[in-house]
Structure 1
Amino acid sequence: MRLPATAHTDRPWRIHEITPDFQLEDVWALPTPGGPDDFDRLMSRFTTADPDAPALMSSTIGRFLMALRWKLGTLFGWDRDKAGLGTRVQTLRDRLPSDLLEGPRGPDLDGVPFTSVFLTDDEWAAEIANGTVHAVLHLGWVADSTADGGYRGQMAVLVKPNGRLGTAYMALIKPFRYLWVYPDLLRTIGRGWDAGRGNAAWVNRAR
């Protein structure tokens, strides 16, 4: 379910400290009801440490659109090294306060060029940069009295478009995100959620 911007901005997330110049693009409630200690299990749905669980690249639509995006990136040069992290833009790791910098970084996403920025007990952020945008994928674990167990996951996407090209690109892909990408991603996450209990111990190894 899509949420209002305040569902993200009103919470005391650490991500706010390092992204004041980013735009909040989307906020979604994830179909992942659980208890207070289930954030590790949510994280396992977004990586391939558990090969039966990854959500971000497991949907057919997601894989097709991602493959199309990489082909366009190759054609137009959006994904050249000089357009990425450490070249066109600085990594958000350079903005972290000392406690986050010294803490766990978290796992990267296999098959998708997102790089982890930081990981806490209830929050994770990863970033990507190319010729169109500098973007952040943010996951959090929030209290929700309507969820089974009283907690659920929440996902936000923050972006910093690269000039007119980036603004036009974000406008172009917006219908695809809302009609196919997000609905398919949420279905994929929810489908395996209950079956994933007990499979998140690996996350502690990334801390």
Structure 2
Amino acid sequence: MPRLAEAAYTEQPWRIHELTRDFSVEDVWSFRTPGAGPGDFPAMLAALRAAGGPMQQSWPTRSLFALRWKLGALLGWDKPSAGVGTRVLSLRDRLPDDVRDAPRGPDDAAMPLKAVYELDRECARELANKTVHTVMHLGWVQGADGDYELRMAVLVKPNGWFGRLYMAAIAPFRYLIVYPALTRQWERAWRDRNQAEHEEGTSR
């Protein structure tokens, strides 16, 4: 199963740990990338960007995100005053010098989470609104079969009781709709990348 125990994240020597001691681990997920090697994390990130953001997923997932953005606009959850740099400080303000000097990673209008940092085998993005400050961490880990695989951890710091209620309310939708669709999209992105490389190699 793609969902992993929290230890699959906490036991890795990620740089993100030193930045998020006041966050809790909400989810840990794995994505199969057959044939991947230790240096393929940048290629995987490129494949994910080519696959597009949430609105490139299945119809149920697109509908959920569209509903969430409409509710946010109606109730004022996503106002700039509730975001990163206003209600909460960006994690970039916590970066040690060696990580701060590394490439940040590109921001994209299709991806509402904004880049914090991007290293050879991990990267982080963040989002804040009136409900929560959340971080999506991606890491590159060697699996039991020897291939490398992508792992995602979602870290959260709810904004008071309302944020905790919000996270509890959306949990069934994440597990039943969003994460399964994300798994299909991201694993397909890796397969498509491999297929494109194979076709390019055979045409030479």
TM-score past 0.5 threshold: yes
- Say yes or no: does 1:159 pair with 2:161: no
C-alpha distance 45-166 of structure 1, shift in aligned 2 (>3 A): farther
1:36 to partner: Cα distance: 1.2
Matches of 1:30 and 1:167, distance apart in 2: 27
Moved more, 88-97 or 188-197: 188-197
Aligned to 2:111: 112
Aligned to 1:39: 41
Aligned to 2:23: 22
Q: If the length of structure 2 is used for normalisation, what is the TM-score?
A: 0.90
Q: Which runs of 5+ in 2 are unaligned?
A: 198-204
C-alpha distance 186-102 of structure 1, shift in aligned 2 (>3 A): same
C-alpha distance 85-55 of structure 1, shift in aligned 2 (>3 A): closer
CA contact (8 A) 2:54 2:110 kept: no
Moved more, 177-186 or 188-197: 188-197
1:8 to partner: Cα distance: 0.1
- Say yes or no: does 1:194 pair with 2:188: no
CA contact (8 A) 1:41 1:199 kept: no
Larger % of helix: which? 2
Percent of matched pairs sharing the same residue: 52
Deviation per CA, 1:26-74, whole angstroms, max 9, x where unpaired? 0011122311111112212332xx3xx2364321233221111110101
CA contact (8 A) 1:135 1:157 kept: yes
Matches of 2:141 and 2:171, distance apart in 1: 26
> What amino acid is the match of 1:22?
F
Q: Which runs of 5+ in 1 are unaligned?
A: 201-207
Matches of 1:173 and 1:107, distance apart in 2: 28
CA contact (8 A) 2:32 2:149 kept: yes
CA contact (8 A) 2:52 2:110 kept: no
Matches of 1:54 and 1:4, distance apart in 2: 27
CA RMSD of aligned residues (A): 1.7
1:174 to partner: Cα distance: 0.1
CA contact (8 A) 1:55 1:185 kept: no
Aligned to 1:57: 55
Count residues with an aligned counterpart: 194
Aligned ranges for residues 123-202 of structure 1 at < 5 Å? 123-146=122-145, 150-197=147-194
CA contact (8 A) 2:53 2:111 kept: no
Deviation per CA, 1:150-191, whole angstroms, max 9, x where unpaired? 211101100000001100000000000000000011011122
Q: If the length of structure 1 is used for normalisation, what is the TM-score?
A: 0.88
- Say yes or no: does 1:86 pair with 2:85: yes
